[in-house]
Structures are given as structure tokens and as C-alpha cells.
Amino acid sequence: MIDEHFGVKRYLAEYSEETEWLIARYDLETFELPAFQKEFGEANPKNPMFDCYAVAETNISFLERYLGEKPKWNFNERSYFVEAHSVYKAE
């Protein structure tokens, strides 16, 4: 989903533990900033969460509410992060 307010696309990134390469991205269908701030321990309510936030197994049930396509979670071989990147907005 594209966050129109901030002009960013938010997603779950999946990386290989062996190579550290990005192997998949799962778009977040919706994003509720206060809920994500609480889940990932962001204390500053003004922080729009543009950084990368590491995902732990305890975050799975929370994240799956926002994902259309769900990864085959494998924390032994993969690492996961909630990320955002700027998108070009044509006018």
C-alpha cells in the first residue's frame, strides 16, 4: 500500500540469512501508524517509521492482519523487516 500522507510504500522484506540478499517483498495492505509504533516499540509518536524494523516471531500474528500474501515464515534461514521506501508521485 502507498501511504499517501508520507509518499512511501510500506512492506515486509524477507532476506536470506546466508547471503543477506533480498529474496521477497510482501506489501502491507493497510498501515496503522500508532499500532505499528506500539508493536515495534517506537516511543516517539511523531516518528513515521521510515527506518527498518526487525521482525521477531512474536510479531507474526500482528503482521498477518496487514498482509495479503503471507510468507512461509522461517526464522532459521530468513530474516524479516518492516520497511518503507519513497515513491514517485506523478502530478
Residues 24-79 have pLDDT tens digits of: 999 999 999 999 999 999 999 999 999 999 999 999 999 999 999 999 999 999 99
- Secondary structure class of 38 (helix, strand, coil): helix
Helices and strands, number each (H, E), in the chain: 2, 5
pLDDT at 26: 97
For the entire predicted model, the pTM comes to 0.91
C-alpha cell at 49: 517509521
- Give the separation between CA 34 and CA 60, rounded to whole angstroms: 17
- Give the separation between CA 17 and CA 22, rounded to whole angstroms: 10
5: pLDDT strictly greater than 80: yes
Angle subtended at Cα 32 by Cα 70 and Cα 45, rounded to the nearest 5 degrees? 130
What length is written for the chain? 91
91: pLDDT strictly greater than 70: no
